[in-house]
Chain A
Amino acid sequence: MSVATRFGPYGGRFVPETVIGALDELTEAYERHRDDPGFRAELAGLLDRYVGRPTPLYRARRLEAAWGVGCLLFKREDLCHTGAHKINNALGQVLLARRMGKGRIIAETGAGQHGVATATASALLGMECCVYMGRVDMARQRLNVIRMRMLGAEVRPVDSGSATLKDATSEAIRDWVTNVGTTHYVIGSAVGPAPYPEIVAELQSVIGDEARAQSLADLGRLPGTVVACVGGGSNAIGTFRAFLPDAEVDLIGVEAGGEGLTGRHGASLALGRPGVLHGSYSYLLQDPAGQVAEAHSVSAGLDYPGVGPEHSHLRDTGRVRYMNVTDAEALDAFSRCSREEGIIPALETAHALALIAREGGALSARGPVLVCLSGRGDKDVDQAAAALGIDA
């Protein structure tokens, strides 16, 4: 089957002509390898023994009590090797790049989890790796910068614009335009020009496929509600896809509300207008003249003015509801989850949890609430300690 390039009116390939050939080559390689038993077996073997899949579906009973939820299930992507769902995509893409004969890998990163995952996959598969990261994010996710360097990757600081994920992505694309013959660009979320959104969604669908089967096995039923945070939207689309045909399951994506929607935020689907950034047509925070706005979130991984094109389509069709929580609500949920469950979540993930803290009682009427626990919060301890007033 050919790779999807549009999701309703969204998606497409709005990039400089120089990389069109590489997108064609990637599409062709992906179509060839994704059904190839050798490729599938190699990826499945690594997901099993290296990443530690399947990840557990865990029932968070103490938070159920705290938040008035009948049944709260965590899909534990935080237990993946490197600490987040990002490794599912990075391993798949770096394996593909090796089969395409590319020796050099580049990536952008916000929270650093995708950068760490890509540096890890590159180390494992013997590839040269360069990660672009905004200077602001390098400061707030310092631990991950050190990890990438330990793994042998070069981390290149980006100072342009807001020096965050948007700018790191632009710089990675410029590198790709320049070195396209030798280099594969591992995009870290379900964004970018086709075929990336589809490739990333397929590589991440392992989350929802497992979670759906685990829910049926453990509870004998599907969850009533599935919740995930949305930056570019890779953990969310990876979780939602398996449930899209189950009309009775309510799907909720949670965007960064930042300081609140009247202040600075990252809620592209709530307040953006469709436009083109980083190669695809999708909801986008922008000014009336079409200049891309700077997003804001306490969480580096959600601090992005765009969103993946499939989410734009799911928003318009109404199949997924997109809501948002503020920085303060996310920090509160971060703290609550740490103390009640002994799980320190990533600040990105804390956004999904905060929605449950706020709406969990009502959501619970439909049945179990399943949340993608997309990553762990080790990377966030400095920033969260400062915000929460915790001393070493």
Chain B
Amino acid sequence: MPDGAARLERAFTAAGRPVFMPYVMGGYPDLAASVRHARILGRHAAVIELGVPFSDPLADGPTIQAAGQRALAAGTTPDDVLGVAAELRDGPPIAVMTYYNTVLARGADAFLARAADAGVAGLIIPDLPVDEAGPVRAIAHQRGVALVALAAPTTGEERLEEIGRHAEGFVYCVAVTGVTGGEVAVDDRLTGFLARARARIRVPLAVGFGVRTPEQAVAIGRHADGVVIASELIRRIDEAPDPAAADAEVAAFGAAVDRALTASA
């Protein structure tokens, strides 16, 4: 098992309760702020998802699209974001979320070498489904980085098994049929999906897309090992009047989610 996979699995299971996995976009609102926000959230999180801005993010709704556009307009590159990861290496394990073309452009080997150097534990590629992932997975293995698979409510039984066979670190379960930034409903469809995933996947399950409140995190946490919040954090940063207020907002929200998850255990 790659070392990154072991670190991620431990991070999700060590607390013995569902944990918080906040999303921070590298370079948003600027590089230094993204490092600061990740450090603040690191006090309340077991794993940090670090996003790489991309020009055409197919799995993302308007909030993350706009944040990405702003980061790109400021000149943020994938390399810069791996630099952010390196600065955060003393905190919780990092899973880098990036679209496949940024990996291809650099070359999977070079990209993963750099990610491994930066101490990245896992790589999430939302447009690289399990049946296309073989070559990247092999390279990630050599570098000790876990290639994190995604599963969705529309994923059939056979594919869930296939995902389970390759799963390492954790599996990212998409909570909604849709893109990021919507609003999740914790209903039979979602809990049924998570039960199906649980039955076929050995590694921890992290659930994200559309989770906005501590209450939703708690409700989802009953059926999962980790809860991801992304667009809601970005919206709060967007709305803050200045950087200090954004830092305070991020700290308060991170603490509230963590407190709720701890209390629910």
Which among A114-122, A148-156, A172-180, A308-316 touches the partner chain?
A172-180
How many residues of B are counted as interface, with CB atoms below 8 angstroms from the partner's CB atoms?
40
CB of A219 closer than 8 Å to a CB of B? no
What residues on B are CB-neighbors of A290 within 8 Å? 54, 78, 101-106
Within 8 A of B (CB), among A282-331: 284, 286, 288-292
What residues on A are CB-neighbors of B72 within 8 Å? 291
CB of B79 closer than 8 Å to a CB of A? yes
What residues on B are CB-neighbors of A12 within 8 Å? 132
CB of A277 closer than 8 Å to a CB of B? yes
Residue on A with the closest CB to B105?
Answer: A290
CB of B192 closer than 8 Å to a CB of A? no
What residues on A are CB-neighbors of B61 within 8 Å? 174
| Given A277-B56, A290-B102, A292-B55, A13 contacting B174 (CB threshold 8 A) | no
Q: Name the one of B59, B77, B152, B154 contacting A289, with C-beta atoms under 8 angstroms.
A: B77
Within 8 A of B (CB), among A1-42: 12-22, 24
| Given A22-B154, A177-B58, A180-B154, A17 contacting B178 (CB threshold 8 A) | no
Q: Name the one of A13, A16, A18 contacting B131, with C-beta atoms under 8 angstroms.
A: A13
- Chain B, 156-181, contact with A by CB distance < 8 Å: what is the 0/1 string? 10010000000000000010011100
CB of B228 closer than 8 Å to a CB of A? no
CB of A276 closer than 8 Å to a CB of B? yes
Contact B104 A276 (CB under 8 A): yes
Contact A177 B105 (CB under 8 A): no
CB of B83 closer than 8 Å to a CB of A? no
CB of A215 closer than 8 Å to a CB of B? no
Contact B154 A18 (CB under 8 A): yes
Q: Name the one of A24, A279, A289 contacting B105, with C-beta atoms under 8 angstroms.
A: A289
Contact B59 A177 (CB under 8 A): yes
Q: Name the one of B65, B79, B129, B159 contacting A15, with C-beta atoms under 8 angstroms.
A: B129
| Given A170-B58, A174-B58, A177-B178, A14 contacting B128 (CB threshold 8 A) | yes
Within 8 A of B (CB), among A149-172: 160-161, 166-167, 170
Q: In angstroms, how far is the closest chain A Cβ from the Cβ of B105?
A: 3
What residues on A are CB-neighbors of B77 within 8 Å? 289
Contact B100 A178 (CB under 8 A): no
- Chain B, 13-49, contact with A by CB distance < 8 Å: what is the 0/1 string? 0000000000000000000000000000000000000
Q: Name the one of A20, A178, A289 contacting B155, with C-beta atoms under 8 angstroms.
A: A20
Which has the most chain B C-beta neighbours within 10 Å: A19, A22, A291?
A291
- Chain B, 209-237, contact with A by CB distance < 8 Å: what is the 0/1 string? 00000000000000000000000000000
- Chain B, 140-158, contact with A by CB distance < 8 Å: what is the 0/1 string? 0000000000111111100
Contact B152 A16 (CB under 8 A): yes
Within 8 A of B (CB), among A49-98: none
Q: In angstroms, how far is the closest chain B Cβ from the Cβ of A184?
A: 15
Q: In angstroms, how far is the closest chain A Cβ from the Cβ of B66?
A: 9
Contact A16 B150 (CB under 8 A): yes
Within 8 A of A (CB), among B73-112: 77-79, 99-106
Contact B56 A292 (CB under 8 A): yes
Q: In angstroms, how far is the closest chain B Cβ from the Cβ of A26?
A: 13
What residues on A are CB-neighbors of B105 within 8 Å? 273, 275, 286, 288-290
Q: In angstroms, how far is the closest chain B Cβ from the Cβ of A182?
A: 11
Which has the most chain B C-beta neighbours within 10 Å: A15, A20, A275?
A20
CB of A45 closer than 8 Å to a CB of B? no
Docked complex Cα distance between A260 and B127 (Å): 33
What residues on B are CB-neighbors of A281 within 8 Å? 104
What residues on B are CB-neighbors of A274 within 8 Å? 104
What residues on B are CB-neighbors of A288 within 8 Å? 105
| Given A286-B101, A289-B77, A177 contacting B55 (CB threshold 8 A) | no
For this complex, 13 residue pairs linking A to B, each with C-beta atoms less than 8 Å apart, are: A14-B128, A14-B132, A16-B58, A18-B154, A160-B69, A161-B56, A177-B177, A178-B178, A180-B177, A277-B56, A289-B78, A291-B55, A292-B56
Closest 8 CB pairs of A and B: A290-B105, A178-B178, A18-B152, A290-B102, A291-B55, A290-B101, A17-B152, A292-B55
Residues of A within 8 A of B (CB): 12-22, 24, 160-161, 166-167, 170, 173-174, 177-178, 180-181, 273-279, 281, 284, 286, 288-292
- Apart from A16-B58, A289-B105, A290-B54, 15 more pairs, CB < 8 Å: A13-B129, A17-B150, A17-B174, A18-B154, A21-B154, A21-B156, A161-B69, A170-B56, A276-B100, A276-B127, A288-B105, A289-B78, A291-B72, A292-B55, A292-B101
